[in-house]
A and B are shown apart, each in its own frame.
Chain A
Amino acid sequence: MDRIARFGAWCLAQVVSMGAGARLFWILLLASPAALARPRLVIDQLHVIGNRSLVIITVSGLFVGFVLGLQGYTTLQRYGSSEALGLLVALSLVRELGPVVSALLFAGRAGTSLTAEIGLMKAGEQLAAMEMMAVDPIRRVLAPRFVAAVVAMPLLAAIFSAIGILGGWAVGVLLIGVDSGAFWSQMQTGVDWRSDVLNGVIKSAVFGLVCAYTALQVGYSAQPTPEGVSRATTVTVVASSLAVLGFDFILTALMFAST
């Protein structure tokens, strides 16, 4: 009987938690236009979230491009189509690796930072102080970070893809000796702005939304203790990464299944 009661209490707690999460998401969406009306707050967060993620994004993009160039060339040359290397690198990056890998890196770099910041603000009674000053912390603190993350994610993914393509070019053309004209012209004719580039941008915007919401929600509901904040940052990385991969499958199925 006790077990049934505990299970019931657990189920109830999960429903309450899901309700609170959905409510927070709705409030964040409603508060986002107001956050844009105070651009200074959003710009500050764009700097913290976006600008400070640039190093990890560019370095990772470069090395992913290097590997794609090497692996792509090895496979393509078996079929005598190594000149299609540019197309392979570009499509891999623009459609999949750019949005997904940059989102995973974003979750690890900026997501954990957001969760820890919000969790520590809660632990230090800063959010409670804001409430007592009649200032809504969701609108004042969370919403600008949410907007900044959603804006920053597609830009970071675009930078990741661009740097990755340059990495693939460096390995394929400079190192291996693939024809430079073929590399770029195949890419130019094979990559479609709407079905490839735009879909990649949409994907990364969705991933930005997922990562930002997860990081903020987990931080906002964290236990206000050192252990609680530490656990919350771990939850952010795991939950964001799984959510990104799950959404990637759904979006890929919707966008590219018919092509």
Chain B
Amino acid sequence: MNPPPVSLEGLQFGYGERLLLRGIDLQVRQGEVLALMGGSGSGKTTLLRLIGGQVKPVAGRVCVQGEDVATLGRSGLFRLRRGMGVLFQQGALFTDLSVFDNVAFPLREHTHLPESMIRDLVLLKLEAVGLRGSAALMPAEVSGGMARRVALARAIALDPPLLMFDEPFAGLDPISLGTIAQLIRSFNDALGATSIVVTHDVPETFSIADRICLLADGRIVALGTPAELRASSDPLVIQFLGGRREGPVRFHQPAPALAQDLGLPS
């Protein structure tokens, strides 16, 4: 039996004394789109960084394809990462390379394909994200939404079995948002891959995800299908999905009374 694409066991992570993640247990299933949701600072992006081996856990294990990421050396980590495609929050396109060269980058670095074949592959990837006509542009010449689509094409350039998306919908207009969401779903299905999507966007995520994992206070507070989460009676799930100000998650961070800070009589 194949190991799960990603498995987190008793995972803890923090900076100094402050723990950001406190005992995360999660198995990502083969072929699913799993959405990681939660408030800002709940540790969603950190979880992606832990899976990618960019940071190491304080305790617990992160296993990718059955391999404990924290125990791997640099070459082992690089071998594992060749099977990952990551879409960074801001796209992280190489600003000195054109759109075409950005998508060609992983192919040129990791394969010995002839340039003619690389050209065909890059054009196909760009066609998939609707940007074949923008191949010659530089990253500074494309909009934020287009840059995200180029980064998406680059992330799938090597057809990786594990795809990770960090806030793919942030700051996008409704058309780009819907397009990117559908692209994530269709790439996942077409490549037979497994996808982890970190996002805040409830409607789009619920339309494409197989399961949703809701994080709060460094823990998983809800895990299930979109239908299961919609039916949940957990006040935190209800507050998050409904975007309500009142609920277990406080909008205001702890602070002295406003009158006291302003020097007014209470």
A contacts, CB < 8 Å to B: 120-121, 124-126, 128-136, 140
A94 CB → nearest B CB, Å: 36
**Residue B88 at the chain A interface, CB threshold 8 Å:** yes
| 0/1 interface trace, chain B 69-92, chain A, CB 8 Å (1 if under) | 000000001110110101011101
Other-chain contact of A125, B81, B84, B92, B109 (Cβ < 8 Å): B92
List residues of chain A with CB within 8 A of the CB of B86: 129, 132-133
Q: In chain A, what residue has the closest Cβ to B78?
A: A134
**Residue B106 at the chain A interface, CB threshold 8 Å:** yes
List residues of chain A with CB within 8 A of the CB of B81: 131-134
A121 to B139, CA, bound (A): 13
Q: In chain A, what residue has the closest Cβ to B48?
A: A132
List residues of chain B with CB within 8 A of the CB of A133: 81, 86, 105-106, 109-110
Other-chain contact of B82, A128, A131, A134 (Cβ < 8 Å): A134
Q: Is the CB of B95 within 8 A of A124?
A: yes
The answer to whether residues A128 and B92 also contact, given A134-B78, A134-B82 and a CB cut-off of 8 A, is: yes
A48 to B121, CA, bound (A): 30
A126 to B86, CA, bound (A): 12
Q: Is the CB of A134 within 8 A of B110?
A: yes
**Residue B40 at the chain A interface, CB threshold 8 Å:** no
List residues of chain B with CB within 8 A of the CB of A128: 54, 88, 92
**Residue B38 at the chain A interface, CB threshold 8 Å:** no
Contacts A133-B106, A135-B105 supplied; 8 other A-B pairs, CB < 8 Å: A121-B94, A124-B95, A125-B88, A125-B89, A126-B93, A132-B86, A133-B109, A136-B78
A125 CB → nearest B CB, Å: 4
Other-chain contact of A126, B77, B82, B95, B109 (Cβ < 8 Å): B95
A133 CB → nearest B CB, Å: 5
Q: Is the CB of B92 within 8 A of A140?
A: no
**Residue B52 at the chain A interface, CB threshold 8 Å:** yes
List residues of chain B with CB within 8 A of the CB of A132: 52, 54, 81, 84, 86, 88
Q: Is the CB of A129 within 8 A of B110?
A: no
A135 to B78, CA, bound (A): 7
Sample (21) of A-B pairs whose CB atoms are under 8 Å apart: A124-B92, A128-B54, A128-B88, A128-B92, A129-B86, A129-B88, A129-B92, A132-B54, A132-B81, A132-B84, A132-B86, A133-B81, A133-B86, A133-B109, A133-B110, A134-B82, A134-B110, A135-B105, A135-B110, A136-B78, A140-B109
Which of B79, B86, B92, B95 has the largest count of A CB atoms less than 10 A from its CB?
B92
List residues of chain B with CB within 8 A of the CB of A136: 78
A176 to B54, CA, bound (A): 66
Q: In chain A, what residue has the closest Cβ to B96?
A: A117
List residues of chain A with CB within 8 A of the CB of B52: 132
Q: Is the CB of A134 within 8 A of B79?
A: yes
Q: In chain A, what residue has the closest Cβ to B166?
A: A125
Q: In chain A, what residue has the closest Cβ to B74?
A: A136
User: What 4 pairs between A and B have smallest CB-CB spacing?
Assistant: A129-B92, A134-B78, A125-B92, A134-B81
A51 CB → nearest B CB, Å: 16
The answer to whether residues A125 and B90 also contact, given A132-B81, A134-B78 and a CB cut-off of 8 A, is: yes
Other-chain contact of B109, A124, A129, A135 (Cβ < 8 Å): A135
List residues of chain A with CB within 8 A of the CB of B54: 128, 131-132
Q: Is the CB of B94 within 8 A of A126?
A: yes
B107 CB → nearest A CB, Å: 10
Q: In chain B, what residue has the closest Cβ to A131?
A: B54
B164 CB → nearest A CB, Å: 9
A185 CB → nearest B CB, Å: 50
A131 to B86, CA, bound (A): 11
| 0/1 interface trace, chain B 177-190, chain A, CB 8 Å (1 if under) | 00000000000000
A43 CB → nearest B CB, Å: 14
List residues of chain B with CB within 8 A of the CB of A131: 54, 81
List residues of chain B with CB within 8 A of the CB of A125: 88-90, 92
List residues of chain A with CB within 8 A of the CB of B84: 132
A207 CB → nearest B CB, Å: 26
List residues of chain A with CB within 8 A of the CB of B95: 120-121, 124, 126
Q: In chain A, what residue has the closest Cβ to B86?
A: A132
B113 CB → nearest A CB, Å: 16
List residues of chain B with CB within 8 A of the CB of A124: 90, 92, 95
